[in-house]
Chains A and B, each alone.
Chain A
Amino acid sequence: NAGVTQTPKFRVLKTGQSMTLLCAQDMNHEYMYWYRQDPGMGLRLIHYSVGEGTTAKGEVPDGYNVSRLKKQNFLLGLESAAPSQTSVYFCASSYSTGSGYTFGSGTRLTVV
């Protein structure tokens, strides 16, 4: 089915470990976004990309890096995980500005 696929769906990390979350979309969308969702905080934008090869910081970028080497993929990296990064991470994509997002099903990350 067309859409946004996030892997993995669940992960437990130890403090200081690194990992990469993968987001893949097959809708030829230009724009891609990474959000985190925490209880009582809504969704907060981490990083985003307006096209292949471009990335930019969002509202809460510290501790994360991203890459968009291919149009269909948007990777989110945690170099040295901290307990404060325990969250549910959502990737989203959109065809253009002024169009709605398509979200992935999320990655639940726990850092112990």
Chain B
Amino acid sequence: SQQGEEDPQALSIQEGENATMNCSYKTSINNLQWYRQNSGRGLVHLILIRSNEREKHSGRLRVTLDTSKKSSSLLITASRAADTASYFCATDASSNTGKLIFGQGTTLQVKP
């Protein structure tokens, strides 16, 4: 069963615009992570936010976490064509195993 549900499934924007992706999950978590996957490649870790954190920044990325609503969002500001990829949220609800449950992903297309 999938823990994370991502919304939207697909997003198309112009270069320079902001992109927002949302993730909802079902159970209490230790942390939530976001990954990027370029076509035909492995996933790359972007950012991790712990359950006691509400917001985190990394470069042009901003992640928020609302544990009361069991939801997170990833904001990419001033998007570039190179940001075109699939983005996945993943939740760690385990007891000392580090197992991640991945959502189905959001496919982002940034048009030059």
Nearest Cβ in chain B — how far from A88, in angstroms? 9
Nearest Cβ in chain B — how far from A59, in angstroms? 8
Q: Mark A20-61, 1 if CB is under 8 A from B, else 0.
A: 000000000001010100001111110010100000101100
**Chain A, Cβ-Cβ closest to B2:** A42
Chain A contacts for B4, CB-based, 8 A: 42
A74 contacts the other chain (CB 8 A): no
Say yes or no: A31 contacts B88, CB within 8 Å.
no
Chain A contacts for B104, CB-based, 8 A: 40-42
Which one, A59, A94, A96, A105, contacts B42 given CB within 8 A?
A105
Most A Cβ at <10 Å: residue of B44, B45, B92? B45
Which one, A41, A58, A90, A98, contacts B31 given CB within 8 A?
A98
Q: How many A-B pairs fall under 8 Å by CB?
A: 71
Say yes or no: A48 contacts B99, CB within 8 Å.
yes
Chain A contacts for B1, CB-based, 8 A: 59
Chain A contacts for B42, CB-based, 8 A: 4, 90, 103-106
A31-B98, A33-B99, A50-B98 known; A97 vs B88 contact (CB < 8 Å): no
How far apart are the CA atoms of A44 and B90 in the complex, in Å?
Answer: 11
How far apart are the CA atoms of A103 and B92 in the complex, in Å?
Answer: 16
Which one, B31, B45, B105, contacts A102 given CB within 8 A?
B45
Interfacial residues of chain B within 12-41, with CB under 8 A of chain A in the complex: 30-31, 33, 35, 41
How far apart are the CA atoms of A58 and B94 in the complex, in Å?
Answer: 12
Chain A contacts for B96, CB-based, 8 A: 50, 97
Nearest Cβ in chain A — how far from B1, in angstroms? 8
How far apart are the CA atoms of A103 and B100 in the complex, in Å?
Answer: 13
Chain A contacts for B99, CB-based, 8 A: 33, 45, 48, 58
Nearest Cβ in chain A — how far from B96, in angstroms? 6
Chain B interface (Cβ < 8 Å from any Cβ of A): 1-2, 4, 30-31, 33, 35, 41-45, 48, 50, 88, 90, 92, 94, 96-105
